[in-house]
Structure 1
């Protein structure tokens, strides 16, 4: 997927409760998408927040993420027993796209698939974690290596690293690919609404989750 990302944390507010321009830009990216956004269903009653959208070279929104629970920060996994951990789940929505010409007409863009959602979810989880006892200067090399691993795993969804998990999507049971690691869990599947879904998290069990179309994404800003 040849996309760029526009990162947007939870929308900041100015005095008096008015949103700052950066917050409005973040919401605008989600509102410009020609596909529905997904999040956890109404069974989840905790905080929800916008994260980022990914765009093609021509500016078209192709995917994005919505977070649930504690806002994750980059953490070193020290393995200390009893250490508090953030509890979150992030849902990644990816537009289902066939192979298509690039904006300048000089080549073809790769089609999106369930593997695209699995890779984005895997990289998303990595972006908030790195192993304990690792020198900070080595983190970029570690991330590059793990990103390649995440892509290889996403390209082999029927391989031994993945299991099958059935979860509700808009109230109907759907099949997902699922795997766990020392850093958290990742899953990916597809919907009848023309999008693929990825998700990742830690501290929240994936087995009890359900997904549903977001009725008003601007309410999360």
Structure 2
């Protein structure tokens, strides 16, 4: 899924646990999306915050992320460390195979696998194993990103289980997996978008998703 990111990049802000300043967040990219955004439903009463949008080569918004709970920070995973509790919801426009803007080729379709991959990479972005030398982190992240893609491309495989969660109040089937870094899930909605999510410290089993009525309230 070839996209670029705008607004706040979902990449390490700094080492040592520093968080990305909320003041840098902007709602503009979200408002340009021709599809609805999803977040946790009203049962979640904690903090919500904007993260980033991803765009295609022609600038069209194709996906984006909304955070819930504690803002995750980039830091080593150490035993007994309080890593915070968060869940991030990724909304991906459901696009069929379509022609590129210049008419010379076809653009890749988006699917539930796209949502699963974006969620898997999102979780990795804020995590790396303890005792790993910083110079090795890029190699580790490249390897794990490839693994996330392989897993996302095989949602019917043994690495995934099925989890039913409400979406706009309707029970919906999601593909779900856990790892030492947290959990990832992905499914589709009746509103023409795919939804992925990832998190840690918050159980995925009690979550519900709902279309965001006014994304500007997150700014």
Query: Into which bin does the TM-score normalised by the smaller protein fall?
Result: over 0.9
The one of 87, 98, 101 aligned to 1:100: 98
Matched, 1:209 2:207: yes
- Residue 102 of structure 1: how far off its partner (Å): 1.3
Matched, 1:34 2:34: yes
Structure 2: tracts of 5 or more residues without a match? 9-19
- For residues 35-54 of structure 1, the aligned pairs below 5 Å read 35-54=35-54
**What SS class does the counterpart of residue 177 from structure 1 fall into?**
strand
Looking at structure 1, the residues matched to 147 and 154 of structure 2 have their Cα atoms a distance apart, in angstroms, of 11
Q: CA RMSD in A?
A: 1.1
Matched, 1:129 2:127: yes
Structure 1: tracts of 5 or more residues without a match? 13-21
Q: Which moved more, 1:104-113 or 1:176-185?
A: 104-113
Q: TM-score, normalised to structure 1's length?
A: 0.92
**What SS class does the counterpart of residue 50 from structure 1 fall into?**
strand
**What SS class does the counterpart of residue 27 from structure 2 fall into?**
helix
Q: Is the 8 A contact 2:112 2:186 kept in 1?
A: yes
- For residues 174-213 of structure 1, the aligned pairs below 5 Å read 174-213=172-211
Looking at structure 1, the residues matched to 217 and 29 of structure 2 have their Cα atoms a distance apart, in angstroms, of 14
Matched, 1:169 2:171: no
Change (3 A) 1:10 1:197: farther
Q: Is the 8 A contact 2:92 2:115 kept in 1?
A: yes
Looking at structure 1, the residues matched to 94 and 47 of structure 2 have their Cα atoms a distance apart, in angstroms, of 28
Matched, 1:157 2:155: yes
The alignment of Structure 1 onto Structure 2 pairs a total of residues equal to 208
Which residue matches 1:70? 70
Looking at structure 2, the residues matched to 182 and 7 of structure 1 have their Cα atoms a distance apart, in angstroms, of 29
Looking at structure 2, the residues matched to 121 and 166 of structure 1 have their Cα atoms a distance apart, in angstroms, of 18
Which residue matches 2:146? 148
- Residue 77 of structure 1: how far off its partner (Å): 1.3
CA offset digits 1:165-205 (Å, max 9, x no partner): 00000000000000000000000000000000000000000
Which residue matches 1:17? none
Q: TM-score, normalised to structure 2's length?
A: 0.93
- Residue 75 of structure 1: how far off its partner (Å): 2.0
CA offset digits 1:70-89 (Å, max 9, x no partner): 001112112x13x2121000
Looking at structure 1, the residues matched to 105 and 182 of structure 2 have their Cα atoms a distance apart, in angstroms, of 37
Looking at structure 2, the residues matched to 75 and 110 of structure 1 have their Cα atoms a distance apart, in angstroms, of 34
Looking at structure 2, the residues matched to 196 and 72 of structure 1 have their Cα atoms a distance apart, in angstroms, of 23
